[in-house]
Structure 1
Amino acid sequence: MPDTFPPNAAPGRWTALTWLAGAVVFAMAPWFSAAAVLPQLRAVWTLSDGDAAWLTLAVQLGFVLGAVVSAVLNLADRVSPRHLIVAGAILAAGANLGILLAQGPAQVIALRAMTGAAMALVYPPALKAMSTWFLTGRGVALGIMVGALTLAAALPHLANGLGGASWQAVIVITSVFALLGGVLAMQVRNGPHQYPPAVLRPAQAWRILTGRAMGLTTLGYLGHMWELYAMWAWFAVFFSRSLSERHLPDPGQGAAYATFAVVGVGAIGCYVGGVLGDRWGRTRLTALAMFLSGGCALALALAILVSASPAVVLGLSLLWGFWIIADSAQFSTIVSEIADPAYVGTALTMQLALGFTLTAGSIALVPILVSHSGWPLAFTVLAIGPLLGAVAMRQLARMPEAAQIAGGRG
């Protein structure tokens, strides 16, 4: 990768990070819109629990479909990132606005899937673009971007706790935000650490599965994703039921505030994970984060079994929320460091596609486990993913490719 500027002196890199992080958060606002208005949508269309779950799953599966198509066409390596982000933002805004005209759950679910597919043109290209601005400090930079998205994912729960706005207003506002994200993205050009140009090679989409180092990185990422979105999707339901069982007042509102805190604290975790990944090495940080995250899930299962107080449960949940996302950006950073330089965007896109495919399974599995044996079993099963992912990252640390990661720190 050409290095035309000293690693610590790429002019304007922090300005580029600010603009691009803002662009991604705004452009992906439609992703989070359904969570903000889900209670109202359930009332409008009398949605079942299954329909409500599909509103979340549809976005995940739509993203997967969009990401696979993008990876096969090598779009993130052949088209300017800012042009892809603008296209994705416009498509997401249109699909999101379509909800205003929808006649029932089936149409809303289809529109949510279209929104997810549009997001595949936003997130992976943005990660690649930011990598061109940073060599040293890249873990922190991508951590800040993922942290901003984490905070954006938490805000709908705060809105629910405060009573929220009308669902039509939320849909319109998040659509406008998406268009604003596209405008912001147009202000950011690629940085000085350019990747080589790419040509169309569909097979590159599958190379991420064949190389051992990339395969271990992906296995680690899959372990991380196994628990992340399932926890984010179901924590509000879990905590609301926990408060109800204690006969505490306003369990729904209390759960909304708690979920905002548990998801939102991950924004700090992303930054800390970036700092530690750059200083300690990414394989070490990701393994540590997943061991701690899996440990928190197991501790929470035990706390439920012994009927711990809501304060104890919330405290463990906040720790879980911190560590469950602290490693997320570091997997993308590793890919940017060890993948074929001409196809970094394709590798990032395919890794994300595989991860979000897995999230659909874990999100769907949680309510089945809960109905069968309760929340302790669900949290125990979620803990399996990060614990296995941590083992994969320890193996990656012993491979020759580790010398390319975090400036030789692995």
Structure 2
Amino acid sequence: MRRILPLIVLSQFLCTSLWFAGNAVIPELASALDLPLAFLGNLTSAVQFGFIAGTLVFAILTIADKFSPSKVFFFSSIIAGILNLAIVLDGISSFQILLFRFGTGFFLAGIYPVGMKIASDYFDKGLGKSLGFLVGALVLGTAFPHLVRSLTDQLPWEFVIYATSILAFFGGLLIVFLVPDGPFRKGSQEFNPSAFIKVFQIKKFRAAAFGYFGHMWELYAFWAFIPLILINFQSNNEIQINVSFWSFLIIAIGGISCALGGLLSQITPPKKIAVFALATSGICCLLSPIFIGQSSFVLLISFLLTWGFAVTADSPMFSTLVAQNAPVTSKGTSLTIVNSIGFTITIVSIQLINISLNHIPVAYMFLILAIGPILGLVSIFDKNRT
């Protein structure tokens, strides 16, 4: 039993490295295909759209509850890894890249929420700790392609794609061979397309879900445009910095906060941790023009690392609250549909920033992200939802 959580965490990390694999090589892709700067937002959105479509299909068909979660995780990791590899094909067009990234995102729906489902099937008690480590693995996996690119900048950009696909294959194999279905799993034996609607009739579930949605408005838009912030600083101050390395650190530090939040949830209610983290990241949104617009690299990095630490700490806490307040027989479907709606919201915030690229100074673009934490906090404290 002790080995189960480390195996799930490791597999989640390996497989979710596919998420930002395209983002890590966007300068090379843009150069090779003569793509505009706005393609970064479109590339990220393609994965998000795919994930949304995948989670909707998985949720409506109750796949994570009807079939073995370990097998669903395995097959999803293999297919997602293959689709990730496809973007290195010779003569590929920008549309085809977006299509393959969409497909990768679709099958990530069988990895991230299903990984949380597997954890909840094993850890009825201490779920906050388990999901803290699990979401931390997602954060590190998301950041990892930037590190790979930083360490292999003398190699062809395709190396990042090869590496992340191989890691995903290995992660899927670990789950299917070493992590059988958990003791608390209760499978759903019949098709129930309304399960994902009924859970929102539960007040505590609804409050946790809406808090999570506010968190998601901010999270991926911040992550996606970290390289832009650094490139803009580099250009304005005429200095050379390792954009890939610092992008990795700013995202990866969130993995530490997720794990720390998970440990703290054993002595502090998850709701309190979520509120503190969401409020802190909201303050960072409001302060962003001050730090992004100044000329000190030390101050900028210190601020972005603080923001990166705060922006993820609430994620496993909201997922814990969602899982704890969902019906036992539809827990996997409930986690999946909340993820689906949350990632739909990320599309809106990412594209709003994408549209503003040519109209608003970079330093002020991230003020709009404060809307998410503010509405999330209002939802948590709304007595009608709790």
Shared fold, TM over 0.5: yes
* Matching of residue 132 in structure 1 with residue 121 in structure 2: yes
- For 2:149 and 2:162, the matched residues in 1 are separated by 17
Whether 2:366 is the aligned partner of 1:379: answer: yes
Equivalent residue in structure 1 for 2:23, among 27, 35, 46 = 35
Kindly state the Cα deviation for residue 154 of structure 1 after the two structures are TM-superposed: 1.6
Q: Is the 8 A contact 2:145 2:164 kept in 1?
A: no
Name the CA distance, whole Å, in 1 between partners of 2:354 and 2:39. 13
Residue 195 of structure 1 is matched in structure 2 by: 186
Gap regions ≥5 residues in structure 1: 1-11, 400-410
Q: CA 1:36–1:376 in 2, change beyond 3 Å: closer, same or farther?
A: closer
Number of equivalenced pairs = 383
Aligned-partner Cα distance in 2 for 1:50–1:188 = 41
Shift of 1:266: 0.6
TM-score when normalising by structure 2: 0.93
- Per-residue CA deviation, residues 324-343 of structure 1 (Å, 9 max, x unaligned), is 00011112111211111100
Q: Which residue of 2 aligns with 1:20?
A: 8
- What residue in structure 2 maps to residue 98 of structure 1? 86
- Does the alignment pair 1:234 with 2:222? no
- Quick check: 1:60–1:113 contact (8 Å CA) kept in 2? yes
Counterpart pick for 1:169 among 159, 162, 185? 159
1:159 aligned onto 2:142: no
Contact 1:288-1:390 within 8 A present in 2 as well: no
Residue 322 of structure 1 corresponds to: 309
- Distance (whole Å) between structure 2 residues aligned to residue 277 and residue 198 of structure 1: 33
Shift of 1:389: 0.8
Partner residue of 1:9?
none
CA displacement at 1:134 relative to structure 2? 1.5
TM-score by length of 1: 0.88
Once the two structures are superposed, the pairs formed by residues 169-318 of structure 1 within 5 Å of their partners are: 169-186=159-176, 187-195=178-186, 197-248=188-239, 250-251=240-241, 253=242, 255-304=243-292, 307=294, 309-318=296-305
Identity of aligned residues (%): 33
Deviation of 1:163 (Å): 4.7
3-state SS in 1 of match to 2:186 = coil
Partner amino acid, structure 1, of 2:30:
R
d(CA) in 1 for partners of 2:16 and 2:345? 20
Report how far residue 180 of structure 1 moved.
1.0
Within 2, Cα distance between the matches of 1:224 and 1:73? 27
* 2-structure distance, mates of 1:71, 1:268: 30
Q: Partner amino acid for 1:184?
A: L
CA contact (8 A) 2:41 2:354 kept: no
Equivalent AA in structure 1 for residue 223 of structure 2 = W
Residue 132 of structure 2 corresponds to residue 143 of structure 1 = yes
Give SS of 2:180's match: coil
Deviation per CA, 1:322-363, whole angstroms, max 9, x where unpaired?
Answer: 010001111211121111110000000000000111111111
